[in-house]
Amino acid sequence: MLTALREFVLVSDAREPGSDLPQIDDHRFGIATTSKSRTVRRTWLDTFDWRLFRAGLTLELLVGRGSAELMLTGRDGELVATEPVPSGSVSGNGSVSGNGSVSGGRPIRWPSRLDQLPAGPLREHLAPVVGVRALLPVTKATSVLTELRAVNTDEKTIAVLALDRMTVTQPTQRRPAPEHKNASPPARLAVIPLRGYQVQASKLADLLERAPGVALAVQSPFEAAVASAGRRPGDYTGKIDVHLTSEMPAALALATVLGRLFDTVEANLAGTIADVDTEFLHDLRVAVRRSRSVLKTAKSVLPADVVGRYRSEFKWLGDLTTPTRDLDVYLLGYPSMTARLVAAGEPDLAPFCDYLQRHRATAYRQLVRGLKSARFTSLAASWRHDLDQIAAAPGRKPTTSALAARRIAKAHRLVLSAGALIDPASPPQALHDLRKLCKELRYLLEVFASLHDPAAQWRAVNELKALQDCLGEYQDTDVQLTELRTFARAMMADRSAPAETLLAMGEIAADLAVRQGRARAEFAGRFTAFASPRGRARIGALTNAAGSTA
C-alpha cells in the first residue's frame, strides 16, 4: 500500500476546462492523458461511543467490482490490518456474507459484534478497543477513484495522482441535525511518489499547494464524510458533558444537567430496544441513576412537586432496567467463570448459561414493553416540558457554586462517618450502604466537574474510585453468591441442572467467596487512604474552589 506524500482538497473550480485537476504552470511536470477509474462503495464503521475514533483507528468496508475488504488504519493513515471478504459476498445494502473464511459462512450484517467477524489479525486488533460493543455503520459514501500519472520532462512517471470524488449518503448510526442538508465533500487529490522520485514528487506537491482552488486536507476522508452527513466524530459520550459557571442559578444548572442526562437516555433508547449490544442499556441505566441522584440533590432548589414526581418515575425506570442488566453482567462474566473452573469444565456449566439466557430473554421482553409503554412516553414528554419551565425561570439563589460546595461537603462527611464505623464485624449491609454514599459523592463530583480544576478533580475522583471499586467487588460478589444459590434451587426445581452443573456452580460460588474475602480484607486500607488528611484535603479543595471557575 503506497503512502501519500501530501493530500489536498479541491475547494474551487480553478481547474482546466473539462478536468478535475488544478492547473500546473511548470514545464518540468505534466499529467499523462491516460487514466484508470473505478467506483468503490465505502462504509465506515465504529461503535456507538466512537471507541475506534477515540483510539486513533478507522475501520472501513470497501466494496468494488468483484472484491470487498475490511481495512483498519491508524491515525496517520498507516495500514494496521485488513480482512478480505470473498467475492460475491456483499449484498446491495452493504451486508457482507461469505464462505467458511468469513464468520463460518454466516453473513456479516451491521450492527455486528466482534464474534461475527472472521477470526484473524483484524479481529485481534479490534478486540481490545471495541470490547463488548457492536460495530455500526457511521456513514456511507460512493467514491469514483481516478489514478493519473504525473511525469517529468523525460516522460518518466514520478508520482501517482489519486483523485477521489466522493458522494456521501446520510449516516445510519444516528440522524443528523434536522436543519442539515446533506452535501458531499470536495474532491480530494493525493500525491503518491514512486520510489526514486520523492524529491521531484515533493516539488510537484509544492506547486499544487500554491495552485488556485487547492488547499491541504486537514480532515481524513472519514472525517470529511461524517461532517458532510451532518455529524461530528465523537459526538456521543455517556459523560455529563455540560459547562456550568459558578454564578449560574443552581436551578438552571440542575435543569441543564438533567436535560443532558435525558439526552443520554434517549440516545441509547433505540439501541437498547433493538438489543444491539449490552452497553446501550448500561449507559441508559447509568443516566437514570445519575438523574435520581441529581433529583435527590435538587431538594429545596427545584419545585417540591417536580422532585417528588420524577424521583418516583425514575425509580420505576431504574427498576425496569435492573433484571436485564443483572443477567447481562452474569453472561458477560461467563467466559471468565469457565476459565476459573478447576475440577469442572465449560460443558458442565453450559446448562447454567442456557438458564441465564432464557431468563434474560424474558427480562428483556419486559424491558422493551416498559420502554415502549405509554408511561415512558408520558415521562419523556412531561420531563422535557418541566425542565424547560424551570430553565425559563430558575430564580437567582442559590448559585451553582454555593450548592455544589454544600452538597459535596455533606456527601463527603457522610462517606467519612459511615466508613469510620465499619470494622471487621460489620455486616455486608454496612458496606453496601457505604457504597451507595460513595456513588452519590461520585455523581456530585461529576455533575459539578466544570467548576473544578481538572487536575484536582481527577485526583479526587481517582482516589474515590479506588474505594468504590473495592466496595463494588465486595457487594457484587455478595449479591452474586445469593443469586447463584437462588439459580441453583430454581434449576433443581425445573430439572434443568445435572449434578455436574451444580458441582460446577459450586466451584463458581467458592471462587466468588474468595474474591469477596479479598475485597473485604482490602477495604480497611482503601478507606484509610481515602480518609487520610491528604484525601480529605483533595475533596476539600474542590468545595473551597467551587466558585472560582466562571
Q: Are 210 and 351 found together in one domain? A: no
Clarify whether residues 466 and 525 are in a common domain.
yes
SS3 442: helix
- Cis link prior to 121 (omega < 30° from 0)? no
Task: Give residue-wise pLDDT tens across range 372-418.
Answer: 999 999 999 999 999 999 999 888 889 999 999 999 999 999 999 99
Same domain, 343 and 405: no
pLDDT of residue 97: 47
Output the domain CATH number for residue 482. Answer: 1.40.20.10
Looking at the structure, do residues 378 and 450 belong to the same domain, yes or no?
no
Report the DSSP beta bridge partners of residue 15: 22
Quickly state the pLDDT bin for 496 (edges 50, 70, 90). confident
Pair 67, 207 in one domain: yes
Claim to verify: residue 388 and residue 292 sit in the same structural domain: yes
Q: Same structural domain for residues 282 and 318?
A: yes
What pTM did the predictor assign?
0.88
Answer yes or no: do 137 and 16 share one domain: yes
Domain containing 339: what range? 246-397
Binning pLDDT at 50, 70 and 90, where does residue 274 land?
very high
CA distance 45 to 134: 10
Question: Which one, of 297, 261, 526, lies nearest residue 407 by Cα?
Answer: 297
Contact 130, 51 (CB under 8 A): yes
Residue 163 domain-assigned (yes or no): yes
458 and 366 together in one domain: no
Residue 183 and residue 48 in one domain? yes
Q: Provide the number of structural domains found in the chain.
A: 3
Residue 235 maps to a domain? no
Same domain, 74 and 110: yes
Helix (H, G, I), strand (E, B) or coil at 487: helix
User: Is position 349 within any domain?
Assistant: yes
Residue 240: inside a domain: no
Q: Positive or negative CA dihedral for 479, 485, 489, 491?
A: positive
DSSP SS3 for 138: strand
Q: What is the pLDDT of residues 19-70, one digit of tens each?
A: 567 777 788 888 887 778 899 999 999 999 999 999 999 999 999 887 899 9
Closest CA to 361 of 397, 319, 399, 323: 323
Contacts of 200 (CB under 8 A, 6+ apart): 28, 29, 152, 158, 159, 193
> Mind listing the pLDDT tens digit for each residue in 408-439?
999 999 999 999 999 999 999 999 999 999 99
- Domain assignment present for 386: yes
Supply the DSSP string of 25-66, one letter for each residue. Answer: --TT-EEEEEEEEEEEEEEEEE-TT-HHHHTT-EEEEEEETT
Domain edge (last residue) among 352, 378, 397: 397
Residue reference for cell 435492573: 322
Please tell me whether residues 304 and 446 are part of one structural domain: no
Q: Is 206 within 8 Å of 413 (Cβ atoms)? A: no
**Residue 434 included in any domain:** yes
Q: Is residue 233 a part of any domain in this protein?
A: no
26-35: per-residue pLDDT in tens?
888 888 877 7
Instruction: Give the percent of the chain with pLDDT over 90.
Output: 73
The predicted model gives 469-497 an average pLDDT of 93
Q: Using one digit for the tens of pLDDT, what is the confidence trace for 112-127?
A: 999 888 889 999 999 9
